[in-house]
Amino acid sequence: MAMSSNYLDAAGLKETFRGSHFKFASTKVPEDEAPNDCLNIQTPVTESALSTSRLHGKNTNEYYEFIQLSQGIHQGCVEAVKDFLNQRPDAVNEWINFYETPLLKACACGKPEIVKELLRRMTPEQMLPKMSQNTSYHTPLTIVAGNGNMEIAEVLIAKNPKLLEIPGSNGKIPVVVAVKNTQMEMARYLYTRTPVQVLFDEDGYHGTVLFVNAIFYKMLDIALDLFSMCRRLAVTRHPHMESIPSIVLACKPDFFPSGCYLGPFKRFIYSWLEVKLPTLRKDSLSNNDQDRIDKVYRMKVMHLQAKKLLLGISEETLAMGLEERSDTVEALFLAARFGNVDFLVEMIKNNSELLWSRRERSNKSLFHVAVEFKQAKSCSLVAALIVTVTFAAVFTVPGGTDDEARGKPFHLKDAQFVTFIVSDMISCFASCTSVLIFLRILTSRYSFDDFLVALPTKMIAGLSILFVSIAAMLVAFSSALFTIFNNSKWIIPPTILLACFPALLFVLLQYPLLKEMIISTHGKGIFDRNMKVLS
């Protein structure tokens, strides 16, 4: 007679228990009993087999009673929230989980109707943050500033404007949180409502943090407004910060025309566009507006804002002593590293002594840094600086001018003065020409064939004209000295020797490259030369 399947299942289960590594408390399957039905298996269990706390203990989740309220807020069910709060009015300001009160959760979930219902039941004092169990608290407004919900932000500020001044656990006030989360509309709204004394109280920490982040995240209208209220904010370092606004601006070449590539059509539109700098309260571009405004227009607005800010920073640097300029010098080196030509030229134009700045650790100059990081744009920087110097030199007449003779120079008929004027003019025009040639090289997209003739030819012309401009600049400088020290003949020999040194150095350093390019482009070429055969 075959055994039933129920008996086989029970027997198999018994063998499984017997071979198991686990110890079952007083659980025995008698050897001599073969049950006819697996449901009739009786397993006597002693009281020690079960933990009474597991089945009969109390719930240890201290927030369990608020689960219904938390779910109602998350789902946006206003009626469920009302019903719960009607039964538990005290829950409106209780912790409903480890991190959140009802108001914080409603702000995080973006539920404006629930926020309004909660605020109706709360006092302004209850909206202020209280320390959480893990000390990582947020305020309702810092949460909303991060997610950009304007409707909730407006009702929060209307109920308690003090929230604008209170930072979260990271020390950032709401307007800074909005900027760091690139919530442009929210950032401008909060900025126009944040009291000025909050930004500049004591050591101006909040204002400095806002300034740095406004530049980094391209909200230059906020940065300009802050700069207009406190110009020193842009060039001085806060003790609790690692950077200053001018350093951040130096690392942003795309804020200026030289750092942006535009095709011929966009470049034509850019040159003819008339733009008006937006104001914070009326004309600021919101995220919705930007979708309808041409990209070129917004780019030009950003360039004008950055230019205005840079001019102000450059002027403010003039009022600083040598010891205070260490951060400005660091900004120049970063600009050379990132190829920010506009920043370098503008800063050096008003502060020419900055051109000779060197890093204390490595003793490297701006030119060393530009070459080290292979910034091709910095090649044109030399020519641009020469343009700046020689152009200004024309209006700084050596020996002075005669006011009674309508401003004519005293040494107008001297040969040295005529040499100065002619050489200065040649240097200025030659450097302008070399700038245009280098810019043409940098902004053009060449095919493979262009590297054979077109590109080397432009490079040869650019280097040759740059040498002419340097030589003419040295002649102009020497002539100016001869004009001023007309009666001191001893100054002529050392001046000539010193003037020849930079020109000779340029020839020695650049001539090998220039020679190779001329031979390869217009000579026999590198493949037609007589090569030495190794025996």
pLDDT at 161 over 50: yes
Cross-strand pairs, 401: 409
pLDDT one-digit tens code per residue, 133-158: 545 578 899 999 999 999 999 999 99
State how far the alpha carbon of 78 is from the alpha carbons of 63, 84, 114, 431, in Å.
Answer: 20, 10, 6, 72
Give the pLDDT score at 224. Answer: 93
Higher pLDDT, 77 or 295: 77
Separation CA 218–CA 220 (nearest Å): 5
Higher pLDDT, 56 or 381: 381
**pLDDT tier for residue 13 given thresholds of 50, 70 and 90:** very low
Copy the structure tokens of residue 156.
Answer: 């929060």
pLDDT one-digit tens code per residue, 431-469: 888 888 877 776 665 554 555 677 778 888 888 888 888
pLDDT at 10 over 90: no
Q: What angle do CA 516, 520, 524 make, to 5 degrees?
A: 125
Q: What percent of the chain has pLDDT over 70?
A: 68
| Helices then strands, each counted (H, E), the chain | 24, 2
Listed in sequence order, the residues at least 6 apart from 6 whose beta carbon sits closer than 8 Å to its beta carbon are 35, 36, 37, 38
**pLDDT tier for residue 20 given thresholds of 50, 70 and 90:** very low
CB 446 within 8 A of CB 381: no
Q: List the domain boundaries for the chain.
A: 5-46, 388-522
pLDDT at 392 over 50: yes
Give the pLDDT score at 59. Answer: 61
Give the pLDDT score at 294. Answer: 73
CB 72 within 8 A of CB 43: no
Please report which helix (H) or strand (E) contains residue 427, including its range. helix 415-443
Give the pLDDT score at 106. Answer: 93
Among 65-74, 330-339, 512-521, the range scoring the smallest mean pLDDT is 512-521
**pLDDT tier for residue 421 given thresholds of 50, 70 and 90:** confident
Q: What is the torsional sign of CA 365, 369, 374, 378?
A: negative
Higher pLDDT, 134 or 320: 320
In terms of DSSP H, where are the helices of 354-414? 366-372, 377-394
Cross-strand pairs, 365: 358
State how far the alpha carbon of 345 is from the alpha carbons of 149, 379, 486, 515, in Å.
Answer: 42, 13, 34, 31
Q: What angle do CA 60, 62, 66 make, to 5 degrees?
A: 130
Give the pLDDT score at 183. Answer: 93
Helix %, strand %, coil % of the chain (to 5): 65, 0, 35
Higher pLDDT, 144 or 372: 144
Give the pLDDT score at 142. Answer: 93
Q: What is the DSSP letter of 402?
A: E
Rg of the chain, C-alpha, whole Å: 38
CB 69 within 8 A of CB 102: yes
Q: What phi and psi values does residue 63 have, to the nearest 5 degrees?
A: -100, 10
Cβ atoms within 10 A of the Cβ of 511, count?
Answer: 12
pTM: 0.60
Separation CA 144–CA 289 (nearest Å): 21
Q: What is the DSSP string of 295-347?
A: HHHHHHHHHHHHHHHHHHHHHHHHTS-TGGGHHHHHHHHHHHHHT-HHHHHHH
State how far the alpha carbon of 79 is from the alpha carbons of 84, 106, 122, 239, in Å.
Answer: 9, 14, 17, 51
Q: What percent of the chain has pLDDT over 90?
A: 23
pLDDT one-digit tens code per residue, 86-124: 999 988 888 888 888 899 999 999 999 999 999 999 999
Closest-CA residue to 101 (of 83, 126, 134, 76): 126
Mean pLDDT computed over every residue of the chain? 75
Mapped onto helix, strand or coil, the DSSP state of residue 22 is coil
Copy the structure tokens of residue 138.
Answer: 């947020």
**pLDDT tier for residue 406 given thresholds of 50, 70 and 90:** low
Separation CA 183–CA 172 (nearest Å): 15
pLDDT one-digit tens code per residue, 167-196: 887 889 999 999 999 999 999 999 999 999
Give the pLDDT score at 262. Answer: 75
